[in-house]
Structures are given as C-alpha cells and as structure tokens.
Amino acid sequence: MERKTHVLAEAGRQDIMITRSFDLPVVLLYEAYTTPDIIEQWMGTKVLQFELKRSGAFEFETSDPKGQVVFTAGGVHHELVEHQSIIRTFEMNMPGFETQLEFLHFEAVADASSKLTMQIIYRSPQHRERQLKLPFAFGLNMAHNRLQEIFDSLK
Amino acid sequence: MNLRRDVFQAIADPTRRAILMLVATKAMTAGAIAANFDTARPTVSKHLQILTTCELLEQEYNGREIYYHFNPEKMKEVSDFIEPFRKMWDNRFNKLESIMRSRHSKK
C-alpha cells in the first residue's frame, strides 16, 4: 500500500516536514483544521478553546481511555488564509517541551484531492528529538486505543 | 533508548555526517578519512570514536591498519525511530479523511 503520510526529519536540523495527500477538496481539508468539533474527532482530543482569528488562542485537553487527563496543549493562531494556510504556535504543557512554530500549507491538487504540507520548527534539534520520541511513550498506544474504539463503535 | 539517542547525537554533527557519507562509499583508514577534512587529525579521531561507539561505523583490522566500515543496519534504526511518529500522524489524517468524506456525502 502506498504511504500517504511522509515525515522528513533530516539529521542535525530542528524542523520536521510532514506531507499528506487527501482524497478531499481543499475546502474540506481546511474545514477539518478550523472546526473545533471536527478537530476533537480526528485529533482525539477535547477542544477547550478555539479562536479562529489572528492572535486567537486554542487549547486542547487529551485524556486516556479511562478519562484521566494525560496532557493539555495549546497555542495561538498567527496567520490564517482561508483554504490556503495557517501559521500558529503550539505547545505541549509537559516538562521538557517548549513552544513550536507550525506552518501549514493547504493546496488543491484537483477538485476532490488536496495536499497538506506542515513544517514544524522546534527550538533545537534536541527539542525535536524529544517530540519524535513521544509516540514511544504513549502516542502510539493511544492511537491504537482510538482505532479500537472506532472498530468497537462500528460493530 | 540511550543508545538510540546516541545515534541521533552522532548524526547531528555535520562533520560526522560527512564522514559517514565518505565511508559509505568504501571502507577507509582514519588517515584517508582525515585527508578529506581541514580539521585537525585528533578532531577527526574523536568523531570516528563517537561514530564507532554508537555502531554507525565498524572497525576492521587489516594488518597494522584499521579500516572503518559503514553500518547501514544502525542507520535503519534512525528511520525506524521516526516510524511511530509517522504512524501517529497517518492515523490522525486517515481519520480526518474519513470524517470529512462521510460529512460531505451526507450534505
């Protein structure tokens, strides 16, 4: 199967490039990133606050399947260009993590397909490394649990 | 986990990356490697030591000379390391796609 999501993390750098092609019109892709109740579904997080404007803050709260809060995260929208781009900060409120800068670029490929390019810039290569390791700690388990929940709800 | 971090630290340095690229093409002695750099010989030796400790390079004794080999298996660990992160985003994006498709078809 073709890998639709690519992650480029070049050695010695402090940024990550994530690219993904979607079988969705670019309008819907942008909507998924800017509508709180949709973000909640695909990010698997609770959206406590979401101000879709320049200098508007957003805040997420992520819990484990038992309802225990694992971490909160948040940031500020810096620039929003409808159906084109979002520039924002993002920070996981956990020891050892600092604010990162995210450049999201939304691109129409055809009427019903689009592409997302996301560049995340960290304070240092070490901070980037810490983020890359996170799925080992719990990210992957949680994603797996969420998938399980979806399968269960389909039954 | 510590060993993996060492691999990351090892490849974070531009000179060490240059050494890896050089040795990847063919096994070389420390002297031959150092000849490719303006840096002092002891500095190159230090880099070789770090790369050998984290197993990105392997030493092979040939008579009195030591040849350095590149270990691609170790390099693969670095990409394996990124794989869970990629998978996490892939899962999220798959979900985003299916949510938006079902919303769209309902409209």
- Residue of higher predicted confidence among A152 and B105: B105
Test B104 with A28 for CB contact under 8 angstroms.
yes
Give the range among A61-75, A140-154, B19-33, B48-62 with minimum mean pLDDT. Answer: A140-154
Identify whether B44 is part of a domain.
yes
The fraction of chain A above a pLDDT of 70, given in percent, is 84
Give the range among A22-36, A137-151, B8-22 with minimum mean pLDDT. Answer: A137-151
Identify whether B26 is part of a domain.
yes
Across the interface, which of B12, B97, B103 has its CB nearest the CB of A11? B12
Residue among A1, A4, A5 with most chain B CBs within 10 A, to mutate? A5
Identify whether B60 is part of a domain.
yes
Classify each residue of B26-45 as buried b or exposed e, where b means 16 or more C-beta atoms within 10 Å of its C-beta.
Answer: ebbebeebbeeeeeeeeebe
Task: Write out the residue range of the structural domain in which residue B58 sits.
Answer: 7-105
Identify whether B51 is part of a domain.
yes
Per-residue confidence (pLDDT) for residue B79, from 0 to 100: 66
Q: Contacts from B38-41 at CB under 8 Å and sequence distance 24+?
A: B39/B15
Q: Which residues of A touch B74 (CB under 8 A)?
A: none
Number of domains into which chain B is organized:
1
The fraction of chain A above a pLDDT of 90, given in percent, is 62
Per-residue confidence (pLDDT) for residue A153, from 0 to 100: 55
Per-residue confidence (pLDDT) for residue A1, from 0 to 100: 44
Identify whether B47 is part of a domain.
yes
CATH of the domain at B23: 1.10.10.10
User: Min CA distance, A56 vs chain B (Å)?
Assistant: 23
Count of CB atoms within 10 A of residue B67's CB?
Answer: 17
Identify whether B38 is part of a domain.
yes
Identify whether B13 is part of a domain.
yes
Per-residue confidence (pLDDT) for residue A58, from 0 to 100: 98
- Residue of higher predicted confidence among A101 and B11: A101
Identify whether B2 is part of a domain.
no
User: Min CA distance, A146 vs chain B (Å)?
Assistant: 9
What's the whole-model pTM score?
0.69
